[in-house]
Amino acid sequence: METRRLGNSDLEITAVGVGAWAIGGSGWAFSWSDQDDRTSERAIHAALDAGMNWIDTAAVYGLGHSEEVVGAAVKSYSGAKPYLFTKCARNWTSDRQIIKVLKADSIRQECEASLRRLQVDAIDLYQIHWPEPNEDIEEGWGTLAELQREGKVRWIGVSNFDVAQMKRAASIAPITSLQPPYSMVRREIEAEILPHVESAGIGVLAYSPMGSGMLTGAMTRQRVADLPTDDWRRQSVHFQEPRLSHNLKVAKKVADVGKRVGRTPGEVAIAWVLRLPAVTAAIVGIRTPEQVAGIVGALEFRLDAETVAELDAFLDDLGRIA
């Protein structure tokens, strides 16, 4: 199984890892609707059996529940234990309202809570989830560096940071990785962020490489209309006009290419994200063991240069929605 070194770390990770956002379940602001915990554990086991060697979660996913499910699934898994990545800087109140916080005391409390839920002594990669509040980035990043020195976390990274914010953090302590959204329907990072991280030696863990389900081959206009009322995608601009029509055209192209090369649309979408040397790996959300079968080929499958050029030309011709 091919592995790749993540940034300045000693972590050798597979090109695809398990994304645990959706398994946080319902009852919070960015839910993917109801999720059965036993099904989640079986999905995680199936992904690890397929060769994936890391899981990415966050404290805020399900307001702690995703980490609990991940911790239980890893504890009950009989094979090699995966690397565990999680995030801080999103806390919540007693009435389940999410708050943006980068203060040192809060991050330390979040870290201890994540360690308990994940049932580990150290977190392999600890990331600032969002650079908010912007004025507290230095305090937050400095706290992650302290946690690393104390052995609570092994490596530290950022998520959703722009270039200027990464430079501010890097002046305090080295950044192991950046976690940005990247897919054929979200290409914002190509202009400035990817060149910067590549030159700085920062690893990239691309999230939502299948456009939050848009590029799986299963999404249709009717399915979007039928999404559960508590599925966060109902409020996402990427699932509303004018982007919806644009993104469904991309989804059809991905499916057509998949048929031609004998791969699922998801595998094509992930392989396109992995075509660039700057991208270390892709985070792929799974909710059922059956979904693993639709993306497992992306661990090894790579698009040839001709197909990459075809897809890039299609995207350029289609244009981008601002």
**Residue 293: inside a domain, yes or no?**
yes
**Residue 124: inside a domain, yes or no?**
yes
**Residue 29: inside a domain, yes or no?**
yes
pLDDT in tens, 122-175: 999 999 999 999 999 999 999 999 999 999 999 999 999 999 999 999 999 999
**Extended strands (E) in 24-133:** 54-56, 83-88, 90-92, 98-100, 123-128
Q: Which of 61, 83, 182, 207 is catalytic?
A: 61
Query: CA–CA separation, 141 vs 190, rounded Å?
Result: 25
pLDDT at 321: 57
**Residue 83: inside a domain, yes or no?**
yes
Query: CA–CA separation, 274 vs 269, rounded Å?
Result: 9
User: What is the Rg, in whole angstroms, of the alpha carbon atoms belonging to the chain?
Assistant: 19
pLDDT, the chain, mean:
95
**Residue 92: inside a domain, yes or no?**
yes
61 assigned to active site: yes
What CATH number corresponds to the domain at position 51?
A: 3.20.20.100
**Residue 1: inside a domain, yes or no?**
no
Query: CA–CA separation, 293 vs 172, rounded Å?
Result: 42
pLDDT at 232: 87
pLDDT at 322: 46
pLDDT in tens, 279-310: 999 999 999 999 999 899 999 999 999 999 99
Query: CA–CA separation, 17 vs 23, rounded Å?
Result: 14
Largest Cα–Cα distance of the chain, in whole Å? Answer: 54
- Ranges under pLDDT 50 in the chain: 322
Helix (H) / strand (E) element for 116: namely helix 104-118
Query: CA–CA separation, 52 vs 292, rounded Å?
Result: 10
Q: How many domains does the chain have?
A: 1
- Domain residues for the domain of 87 are 9-318
Give the residue from 204, 189, 58, 76 showing the smallest Cα distance to 117: 58
